[in-house]
Amino acid sequence: MTTTRRGLLAGSAAVVVGAALDTPTAQAHTAGSSAPKPTVVLVHGAFADASGWNGVASRLIRDGYPLIAPPNPLRGVASDSAYLATVLATLSGPLVLVAHSYGGIVVTNAATGNPNVKALVYVDAFVPDQGETLQGLQTKYPGSRINETALDFRPHGEGLLDAYIKKEYFHDVFAADLPRSATDLMWAGQRPADTRALGEPSGPPAWKTIPSWYLVGRDDQVLPPAAQRFMAHRAGAHTYEIDASHVAMISQPTATAALIKRAAR
């Protein structure tokens, strides 16, 4: 079990997590190492797609990390996890799985039993224990503004509903630290989640046997920071905090990439 490092940036400190994580000494150590870098697998969450990782991915590619950002189907916990597990089975060598939001449930299940997965990185993400649900964790602490009022529901089959965030809520709730010009595009292209995923229980968690890292967005209006801290602490994750919305990987790509590189080392 890894040692939790909650409160590294506690209080009203400026956002310096990138500098704290990506020091010249650490960079030199990586550059001088003969060991191949692990493949980084970037998994997006609901109301988003893999393009949300572009800022992070470009930094990792620049630093020589092989990576893949597969689509998350957003059809349900078991089916999405099974899909990702099949993707992981095609990859050789050590893997670092990085998840945002709902993607955290998916990697927690998909990585279980895969000996190639060496680290899990959660960014504003769900880290469930066995039997827990997305809805249960999201409402465990007050503060989430994702509710029926903020969502549109559209059928995608008999008795099946997809959930979308309404335009009037998208910026303030999902990504308040991004310009509206950006969030208008994100809203228009958002990928919905099947509502059945909200209550679907999670399986045996990979974090019980795989070291984990966590980046808490202090200004998250989707997944309350208190819930993030609870899950990170329970998983024994190396935990860092940053002044960011629910999309820390978009608004703070340098800090997010730095945390991934630390986990990869």
With beta carbons less than 8 A apart as the criterion, state whether 212 and 236 touch: yes
Which pLDDT tens digit goes with each residue over 211-258? 999 999 999 999 999 999 999 999 999 999 999 999 999 999 999 999
Domain assignment of residue 218, given as a range = 17-21+35-264
3-state secondary structure at position 9: coil
Domain assignment of residue 29, yes or no: no
Contacts of 157 (CB under 8 A, 6+ apart): none
Domain assignment of residue 138, yes or no: yes
Domain assignment of residue 104, yes or no: yes
Please state the domain count of the chain.
1
Strand ranges across the sheet with 238-242 = 67-68, 39-43, 95-100, 117-123, 212-217, 238-242
CATH of the domain at 112: 3.40.50.1820
Domain assignment of residue 53, yes or no: yes
Residue 54: what are its φ and ψ, rounded to 5°? -55, -45
Domain assignment of residue 1, yes or no: no
> Which pLDDT score is estimated for 35?
80
d(CA 84, CA 94): 16
> Which pLDDT score is estimated for 27?
40
Compute how many other C-beta atoms are within 10 angstroms of the C-beta atom of residue 62. 9
Domain assignment of residue 136, yes or no: yes
Residue in 139, 53, 36 with CA at minimum distance from that of residue 97: 53
Which pLDDT tens digit goes with each residue over 160-215? 999 999 999 999 999 999 999 999 999 999 999 999 999 999 999 999 999 999 99
Residue 164 Cα distances to 149, 152, 220, 252, angstroms: 11, 5, 18, 24
Domain assignment of residue 27, yes or no: no
Domain assignment of residue 4, yes or no: no
